[in-house]
Structure 1
Amino acid sequence: MGIAGAVIALFGLREVASIAGPVVLALVLVIAVAPVRSWLDARRAPVWLQVAVPFLIVVLVLLSMAGILTISATQLAFLLPSYTSQFDQLIDDSQHWATTHGVSNDMLSKALQAFDPGKILGLAQSLVGSLIGVLSSLFLIVVLLLAMCLDAPMTAKILMSGEGSRPQLVEALATFAHKTRRYLIVSTVFGLMNAILDVIALSLLDVPLPLLWGVLALIANYIPNIGFVIALLPPTMLALLDGGVQTMVLVLVAYIVINVVTQSFILPKFLGDAVGLSTTMTFISLIVWTFVLGPLGAILAIPLSLLTRALLIDSDPSARWAQALVSGKLPNG
């Protein structure tokens, strides 16, 4: 019954993904800037200021990203057709190299059909277009943000008043907000660090549209497990077409070095156990929420899974075994 109910709920969400996605995004953004409201409240700022400042911070960030993505995607659309001759030349050079090394042209043709840089760049353009499509519903997101920011002070008081009757649920929602906020803040800081270093590396290597690939790296940083690959492939393929194999290898090395240093060595020390999801559950959440909400679901996979865990597992005292299952750690005691 539980599995059947979950399937019905997920397919229902999928049918209203154009509404559910912006609602969840607005909720996550309001949670992310909640410390700003708390800071203003502690200094007895007027209520209107407690609403206006977090709201304006989020709106400015959204508008900036939407502007950068729109301009860069337009430039990419005009740029891609100009690489047709380079791609044809790349095929000719590959066939010549294969012939001199005893590789048949048939084998090479099949390999080139399976590995087409134009298709990968087209996929990047499609991904950017999907992100712009999400941000194109900016009016709905802004209205939801404003409504949630207005309700945030009262919502916090209502949740606190429920500690007597439903303490586990209130504690679970508070934990969800704390983990989501920590995950977003740490991921954003390291995503910005990665994006800046990627832009610098791409600019030094003269790869076109470094700002676009930097923004893509920032957004892909929120996608668990496969985000790095999504951010890596488009600039690498563009570097191959624009500067040749040497430039592609340099871009590949730069991305791997930056990612290994920041994501493998530094990020875990700051993020720690904030997510509370095992590697398997993280990957499953990526698949499920991408299926339900599309590209936005991939970006919000971790917050959505944390919310689901808070509502269905953490709020139930008898579900400690399930907590251990999704976190991959044995319960204390």
Structure 2
Amino acid sequence: MIRQGFPRALIVLAGTAAAVITLAGVQAVGSIVGPVVLALTLVIAVSPVRGWLARRKAPVWLQVAVPLAVVLLVLLGMVAILSLAAAQLAILAPTYADQFNAMVADLQQWAAGLGYGSEQLNKALSSLDPGKFIGVAQSVLSSLLGVLSSLFLIVVLLLAMSLDAPVFARIVDAASAERPALARALKTFTYKTRRYLIVSTVFGLICSVLDITALYVLGVPLPLLWGVLALITNYIPNIGFILGLIPPALLGLLEGGPKTMLLVIVAYMAINVVIQSFIQPKFLGDAVGLSTTVTFLSLIVWAWVLGPLGALLAIPLSLLVRALLVDSDPNGTWAAALISGRLPEHASGSGADPQPEQSEPR
């Protein structure tokens, strides 16, 4: 019997084309998709609070109001801190003109002492503008504020999703009988997303406190702002540490010179690299289910599709795509293995730890 079917290469090519078209469509409506995914992620993050209230027979309105209030307090607090700090930074920027000009003069003298005092070098150094350096920090803040500019839409979505969360949980439980793979994939998605957020938040707070202390000791202006920035960028995989380092390092250069900037870089590397690269992964483990390569590629793709918000939500977005397209398919075992970088349990041959399929009580 001749088996009829499409060549696998054609299927892969068609799937890739469909993915490109879908991502382009998501990018076109990114102002809507971004807040929706952010609201969904926040609802998942506070779902244990709702579950705790439900187990204690709290009224339904209280199960909705308390988690919603927690999320709103966090969002409004971040908006207030970032807005105030951005205004302070704009006021602070012009005061560094004299320090910057003196630094440029020192660089010119140092270059001349090494025999590189050419007219081109002097022209390049004299063309440097302190406003450009401060502009880097302001652009970072503007991007973060832009992420929260759709606050009203996010609040409305949070309210709607908080109201629907109990019903949705019951629907997923009921679907376990007819669509067990899909129900298990959705539960695993919420579990992994919540664990990722919890671990990232805990270690982000630790890094933030240590960064604030180091910046305060080094005399870098606005240490609280850069601590909050370090906490936020902790959710951006791979390059978040660098993004959080640039603004305080530049201010350290203008405030205390190259020595202060170098000390800021060393302090951030000692704190963030050690915690995020060596300690945090041991607690997070393989629960997220994404390999290092997939994590980095997801950051690039989602940042391109949704901008700064896509970078912040790269991991939850990738986990959602995995749940819908891979984990819900009983034949997607090897695709899941490629994404996670781990052999399937039946193929490991040595009882390797399986992917966590269970979910926490919602």
TM over 0.5: yes
Does the Cα contact within 8 Å between 2:209 and 2:227 map onto a contact in 1? yes
1:274 match: secondary structure: coil
2:134 paired residue among 121, 124, 146: 121
- Which residue does the alignment assign to 2:7? none
Greater mean deviation of Cα atoms: 112-121 or 141-150:
112-121
Structure 1: stretches of 5+ with no match in the other structure: none
Q: Structure 1's 95 and 190: CA in aligned 2 closer, same or farther, altered over 3 A?
A: same
1:190 aligns with 2:203: yes
TM-score by length of 2: 0.88
- For residues 145 and 257 of structure 2, the distance between their equivalents in structure 1, rounded to whole angstroms, comes to 30
* Structure with the largest fraction of helix: 1
In structure 2, C-alpha distance between the alignment counterparts of 1:177 and 1:191, rounded to whole Å:
20
1:292 alignment partner in structure 2: 305
CA distance in 1, matches of 2:283, 2:318: 20
Render the CA deviation track for 1:143-169: whole Å, top value 9, x for unaligned: 110110011000000111111111101
Distance 1:313 1:73 in 2: 42
Aligned equivalent of 2:103: 90
Distance in 2 between the 1:117 and 1:171 partners? 54
Determine the C-alpha separation between the residues in 2 that align with 1:105 and 1:19. 53
Structure 1 pair 164–106 and aligned structure 2 pair: CA distance change class (3 A):
farther
Residue 108 (structure 1) shift: 4.4
- Distance between the aligned counterparts of 2:33 and 2:133, measured in 1? 29
Asked if the contact 1:117/1:237 (under 8 Å) is kept, the reply is: no
- One of 201, 222, 233 as aligned partner of 2:235: 222
* Root mean square deviation, CA, Å: 1.8
Deviation per residue, 1:119-147 (Å, 9 max, x gap)? 45322211211211221211111111011
- CA shift, 1:276, in A, is 1.0
2:240 aligned with 1:240: no
Q: Decide which of 11, 19, 41 is 2:32's aligned counterpart.
A: 19
Q: Deviations over 1:265-291 (max 9, x none)?
A: 321121111211111111110011001
In structure 2, what residue type is equivalent to 1:213?
W
Which of 73, 89, 102 lines up with 1:76 in the alignment?
89
Q: Which residue is 1:150 aligned to?
A: 163
Post-superposition shift, 1:113? 9.3
Q: Rg: which structure is higher?
A: 2
Cα distance change of structure 1 residues 31 and 262 upon mapping to structure 2, 3 Å threshold: same
Residue type matched to 1:215 in 2?
V
**What secondary structure is seen at the aligned counterpart in 2 of 1:165?**
coil
Q: Give the alignment of 1:249-268 within 5 angstroms.
A: 249-268=262-281
**Counterpart code for 2:69:** L
Which whole-Å CA distance do the structure 2 matches of 1:255 and 1:107 have between them? Answer: 34
- What are the ranges of 5 or more consecutive residues in structure 2 without an aligned counterpart? 1-13, 347-362
Question: Displacement of 1:68 after TM fit?
Answer: 0.1
What is the letter of the counterpart of residue 99 of structure 1? A
For the residues of structure 2 that align with 1:311 and 1:106, how far apart are their CA atoms? 61
In structure 2, the CA distance between the partners of 1:114 and 1:37, relative to structure 1 (3 Å rule), is farther
Q: Deviations over 1:44-70 (max 9, x none)?
A: 111111111100000000000000000
Amino acid at match of 2:151: L
Distance verdict in 2 for CA 1:114–1:227, change over 3 Å: farther
Alignment of 1:200-211 (within 5 A): 200-211=213-224
**Alignment-mate amino acid for residue 315 of structure 2:** I
Residues 223 and 301, structure 1, Cα contact 8 Å, conserved in 2: yes
Partner of 1:321 in structure 2? 334
TM-score by length of 1: 0.96
Whether 1:36 aligns to 2:55 is no
